[in-house]
Amino acid sequence: MEQDRIFETLVRWNYWGKKPLPSLKDRMLLQTIHNFIDDKLPIILSGVRRSGKSSIFLLLISELQKRGVDTKQIFILNFEEPQFSTSLSPTFIDDLVMLYKRRINPDKKIYYFLDEIQNVPEWQRWVRREADLKDHKVFITGSSAKLLSSEISTLITGRYIQFTVFPLSFMEILNWNSISHSNELEKTENKSLIINKLFHYLQWGGFPEIVLSESDERKKRILSQYFSDILYRDIVYRHQIRDVKLLEGIAHYCITYISSLHSFNRISNIFDTSIDNVRRYFSFLQEAFLIYNANKFSFKLSEQKRSPKKIFTIDSGIRNQYGFRFSRDSGKLAENAVALKLLYDIPDLFYFTNGGECDFVIQSDKQFIPIQVTMDNLNEEKIRSREIKGLLSAAHYLKSSTGLIITDDYEQIEMIDNLRIKFIPLWKFLLQKS
C-alpha cells in the first residue's frame, strides 16, 4: 500500500483536523474507566461485537480533550479496516506509527486507541513493549474473550487493566430515554414507563443501535447482521471452522434453550457429533460473548465441571429473533436478564440443585445468597410453595441467612423458616446499582 493511501485511511478514522467528535450518549462504565486514564497500564475493553466499545473509545477521547490533550496526540487504529486486512502484523503497527509520527505527532506523548486488536497476529508483543516503556498510553478493544485469558496471560500478565463491555443495561436504557428512577418517588411516578421499557428490553435486548431504532423491521435486520457477524467474523473466520452448519445448529440450540440445563453429551446426541466437537464449539460461542453459562454449585470443582450447565445469552433480542420460541417465555427471558445483571459484577454464576432447585447462587460479603426468579403468580399457593421450597433448600445447604425471590410485581420481606426472604419485582432488581 502506498503511504499516501494509508495516510488517507488514517485521516478518515482520526480527528486530527477540524472534524468534530460525534455526540454520543453516556455509558455507566465510563465513569469507572475515567479513574484509570492517567494510569500507565494499557486499558482493555472486551465484549460482544456492537456492544459499544468503539463508542466508549470516542467518549474517552472527548474526556482527554477536556483534560487538555491535543487531538493530534490521539491515534486511532481500527483493525477491521478492509485496507489493512492483508498487512496485519506487529511490524505493520510500527509502520503505521512511524507514518503518524512523521506527519502528525513527532515528539509528544501518544494515546493509542486500537480497535478490534484480536485481528493482529501476535499483538501482545507490541502491547507488552509499549507497557514496559511506559512512554505512551494504550487503549484496546476486542470481540474475543481470549483477550481475557491465554492471549493476554502468555505475555502481558499483570500489565493491563481490563473491563468487559456489555450491551446496554436496563438502567442505561432508562437513562437514554430520560426516564428518572433515582429514588422511590420517581420510580413510583414513572412505573408505567419503566415497565413498558422492561417489556421492550426483554423483547429486543440492549444493543445500543437497537435501543436507538424505532422501526421493528430495522431492528430485525440489524439483529440478523449482528448474529451473522458474531458467528462468521468472530468464530468461523477466526477459528477456520469447516462444519459451519454444526456451529450454526449448536448456536441456535443454545440461544433457544436459555435458562435451562444442558450437558455436552445431550447436545452431541442431538446433533450426532462428538462431545469434543460440542465442547469446542461451545467454547467458541463463549469466546465471542454470545453465550454464558452457570455451573452447578458445589464445593468440589470436579462436580462443577461434570455437571450440566445452565446457558444464558448475551442479548434477548438475538435470542428472540433466532431462537425457536414456544411461548412468550417470560420466565426464561427474565432469568436471562437477571443473569446479565449479575454478570456485570460477578464473574462466575452458579445454580443449585441438591434436594431442591434454585436458579442462582452468588457470593456477597463472604456469604452465599440464593436467588429465585419467577414471573408466575405467587398468589397461587402451589407456585409460591415451589419457589420458596427451592430457595430454602439452597439456603439451608449454604447456611445462608437471607435469600431473594425476583418476581413479576410482588414486593415484600418475609421471615420463613429462619430465612429472611426479600421479594422484589424484576424491574426494581434490574435498577439496583449493585
pTM of the model: 0.93
pLDDT per position as a tens digit, 109-122:
999 999 988 888 88
344: helix, strand or coil: coil
- Highest mean pLDDT: which range of 125-134, 152-161, 251-260: 251-260
Q: Is-same-fold flag (3-165; 327-434)?
A: no
**DSSP code, position 169:** P
Nearest residue to 400 via CA among 434, 350, 363: 363
Q: What is the pLDDT of residue 124?
A: 84
Q: How confident is the model at residue 87 (pLDDT cuts 50, 70, 90)?
A: confident
- Tens digits of per-residue pLDDT, 388-422? 999 999 999 999 999 999 999 999 999 999 999 99
Look at strands 74-78 and 111-115 and give their pairing.
parallel
Which residue from 391, 425, 334, 257 is spatially nearest to 383, judged by alpha carbons? 391
CA dihedral over 13, 16, 19, 20, signed as positive or negative: positive
Calculate the alpha carbon distances from 316 to 60, 207, 383 in Å. 28, 10, 25
Mean pLDDT value across residues 277-289: 96
- Amino acid in position 22: P
pLDDT at 84: 84
3-165 under CATH 3.40.50.300, yes or no: yes
Pick the CATH number of 327-434 from 3.40.50, 3.30.450, 1.10.287, 3.40.1350: 3.40.1350
pLDDT at 305: 87
Q: Domain locations in the chain? A: 3-165, 327-434
pLDDT in tens, 158-213: 678 889 999 999 999 999 999 999 999 999 999 999 999 999 999 999 999 999 99
* Mean pLDDT across the chain: 92
**Which tens digits make up the pLDDT trace of 26-57?**
999 999 999 999 988 999 999 999 999 999 99
The answer to whether residues 140 and 42 touch, using CB atoms and an 8 Å cutoff, is yes
The rounded percent of the chain whose pLDDT value lies above 70 is 95
Q: Are 192 and 186 in contact (CB under 8 A)?
A: no
